[in-house]
Every structure is written in structure tokens, then in C-alpha cells.
């Protein structure tokens, strides 16, 4: 199988990535030591997608990070106006992502979403699944994703969808710890190679147990 990413071990900002290799049909799970949507996470994503190359990290395939928040307001002013000017998902796929009408229609029908549905009314699981579909449609050979905010059924749906594309792609899951029932847990893709990322000067590279 084609090797898509090779890492000899590198430091991105304050986060240390251990050595790893990612091939088609495989998943690597990054056990993140930082918060989701943090500046540290942003730097890691930029390195993985090639936006900000990192020494020791070699990309041999197109890497795209899924973004279920894409199309939603980011600034205070946009959030203020969003309830009054909510765009349709169909319009966003056509105008922003550049998909032809027939492909847009196929994507929506595949997820049971009507043509006139607004972005704010799309369930979170569906938004994550569509974000994956958009990435593959753009030629992603590696998708970077997380299951933040998803219930167990949503997590399973994302994992199953990724498995369907193992014949041509691979994935990196950004896994964040959470507390439930007084226990600290993580969602991690079954069978993934789980890499324990560390903060610089606070530990050494280590490979966590494969789940």
C-alpha cells in the first residue's frame, strides 16, 4: 500500500510528534495533549495539510482536514447576523465548495437532507459526514478528523464511513480526553495506531497501546 505520510519525529509549536508512518487503508490516532480548537491544534493541522511544513514530516499525498463548522459564522458580527441570513447547505456546497448541482443533490440525498435545509438545522453527525464527503470529493488521500461533540452512534457512523474509503485513503484522528462517570476516556478509531503526543520538555516520544 502507498505510504502517504512519513514522520521522523518533530516538534510543532510546543507539541512533540513521535515517529510514524501512514499508509493507505490505515488510521493513526493522535492522542492530543491540548484543547480542541486551540492554537496548538491549529498548528498541527497546518503542518499535516502542508500549509506550514514541519521539519521531519513528509507528505506524499493530499491531506485535508474536515471542518463541520465550515460555512458557519466565525466573527462576532457574523454570529450576530447568522439567525437572519442563514445560508442553505445546497448553496454553500455549490457556491463555496464549487460542486455542480447534480453532485450537490447526490450528497444531500445521501444524507436525507432537503435542498432548502439551512446550515443551522443540519444535525451534527450529518455535518461531520458531509465534511468527510467534501474532503474526499476534493481528492483527499488522508482525512484529518475528530469526533468532538458526537454521541456514540455518531462516532460509529464516522468510523464506518472512513472504513468504506480504505481502498483509496487513510485517516488521522485527533482524539481528546473527556470525563464520563468519573473516568477519563478517549474516543479512538478501532485498530488505529494510537500516538501519545507530548508537550515539549514535559516528556518523551511514546507509542500508546493500539486499541
In tens, the pLDDT along 58-104 reads: 999 999 999 876 544 444 444 444 454 567 888 888 877 888 999 99
Helix, coil or strand: residue 61: coil
Angstrom CA distances, 64 to 34, 137, 189, stand at 20, 11, 18
The reported pLDDT for the residue numbered 209 is 34
pLDDT at site 116: 86
- Residue 135 contacts by C-beta under 8 Å, 6 or more apart in sequence? 64, 65, 66, 143
Would the pLDDT of 207 be above 90? no
Residue 185: pLDDT band with limits 50, 70, 90: confident
pLDDT of residue 69: 67
- Ordered by where they begin, the domains of the chain are 85-140 (1.10.8)
Spatial separation of the C-alpha atoms in residues 117 and 104, rounded to whole Å: 13
Give strand pairing partners of 170.
Answer: 142
Measured CA to CA, the distance from residue 69 to residue 131 in angstroms comes to 9
- What is the per-residue pLDDT across 100-141, written as a single tens digit (0 to 9) for each? 999 999 988 888 888 888 877 788 899 899 999 989 999 999
Number of Cβ within 10 Å of residue 28's Cβ equals 21
CA nearest to 211, candidates 197, 193, 196: 193
| 3-class state of residue 174 by DSSP | strand
Mean model confidence pLDDT for the chain: 85
DSSP string for 126-137:
HHHHHHHHHHHH
User: Is the pLDDT confidence value at 157 over 90?
Assistant: yes
Amino acid at each position: 500500500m502507498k505510504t502517504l505520510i512519513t514522520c521522523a519525529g518533530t516538534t510543532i509549536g510546543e507539541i512533540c510528534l513521535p515517529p510514524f508512518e501512514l499508509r493507505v487503508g490505515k488510521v493513526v490516532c493522535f492522542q492530543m495533549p491540548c484543547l480542541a480548537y486551540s492554537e496548538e491544534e491549529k498548528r498541527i493541522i497546518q503542518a499535516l495539510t502542508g500549509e506550514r511544513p514541519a521539519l521531519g514530516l513528509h507528505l506524499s499525498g493530499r491531506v485535508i482536514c474536515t471542518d463541520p463548522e465550515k460555512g458557519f459564522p466565525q466573527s462576532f458580527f457574523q454570529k450576530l447576523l447568522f439567525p437572519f441570513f442563514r445560508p442553505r447547505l445546497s448553496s454553500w456546497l455549490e457556491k463555496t465548495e464549487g460542486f455542480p448541482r447534480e453532485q450537490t443533490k447526490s450528497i444531500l440525498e445521501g444524507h436525507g437532507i432537503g435542498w432548502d435545509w439551512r446550515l443551522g438545522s443540519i444535525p451534527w453527525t450529518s455535518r461531520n459526514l458531509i465534511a468527510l464527503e467534501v474532503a474526499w470529493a476534493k481528492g483527499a488521500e488522508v482525512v484529518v478528523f475528530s469526533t468532538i461533540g458526537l454521541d456514540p452512534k455518531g462516532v460509529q457512523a464516522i468510523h464506518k464511513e472512513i472504513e468504506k474509503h480504505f481502498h483509496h485513503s487513510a485517516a488521522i484522528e485527533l482524539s481528546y480526553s473527556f470525563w464520563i462517570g468519573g473516568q477519563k476516556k478517549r474516543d479512538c478509531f478501532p485498530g488505529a495506531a494510537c500516538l501519545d503526543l507530548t508537550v515539549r520538555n514535559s516528556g518523551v516520544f511514546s507509542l500508546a497501546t493500539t486499541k
